[in-house]
Every structure is written in C-alpha cells, then in structure tokens.
C-alpha cells in the first residue's frame, strides 16, 4: 500500500485518485462549493473545493479530508456541510 502510494507520487504517469463521476455544486453566501468525492479503498473520501470571484479573479481553496463514507452522495453532502462551516468560521481568509 505504501509502495503504491510512493510509486504514484513519484511516477511521471502517476494516476490521480479516482474522483466522482459527477460534481455537485452549491452556491453559498457568494461562494461556490464544488463537492468532488474521491474513491478510496471502497469508500468515498470527502474532498472538493471552494471558489469565490474577486473582480475578474477567481480564488480557489481545495481540500481533502480524512473522512470516508460508504456512499458517494454522502461524501458530497458532508463536504458541502464542512465547506459551509469553514466559510462561516473563516470567510475570505480561507484563500490566504
């Protein structure tokens, strides 16, 4: 398992973790929350990104949590819940 991790990490052809087939996007307080659960050992890892436009510039904060859930939809919903909490607590400082 660790060997495979390092092989993918240092290989020029390393594969990215398998992402969800369909992204889920929610607009929350002028932020775009895009859930992108990743398949991980038969579970779905909570991951995605938060975006916000500042004039003509779009800033993005990407995160992957250690949390895994059995369903892709459950992982997407958990990502959205966590992203809303992060936005409420940190606001625009998440882009620093």
* Domain boundaries, given as residue ranges, for the chain: 16-95
pLDDT in tens, 31-73: 999 999 999 999 999 999 999 999 999 999 999 999 999 999 9
Return the CATH fold of 16-95. Double Stranded RNA Binding Domain (3.30.160)
Half-sphere exposure of 38 (CA within 13 A, CB side): 15
Q: Categorize the per-residue pLDDT at 25 as very low, low, confident or very high, splitting at 50, 70 and 90.
A: very high
Which residues, 6 or more positions from 5, have their beta carbon under 8 angstroms from its beta carbon? Answer: none
Distance of alpha carbon 84 from alpha carbon 17, whole angstroms: 24
């Amino acid at each position: 398992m660790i060997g495979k991790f390092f092989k993918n990490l240092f290989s020029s052809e390393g594969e990215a973790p398998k992402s969800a087939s369909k992204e889920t996007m929610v607009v929350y307080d002028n932020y775009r929350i895009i859930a992108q659960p990743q398949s991980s050992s038969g579970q779905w890892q909570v991951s995605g990104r938060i975006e916000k436009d500042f004039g003509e510039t779009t800033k993005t904060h990407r995160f992957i949590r250690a949390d895994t859930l059995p369903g892709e939809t459950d992982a997407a919903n958990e990502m959205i819940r966590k992203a809303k909490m992060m936005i409420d607590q940190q606001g625009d400082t998440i882009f620093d």
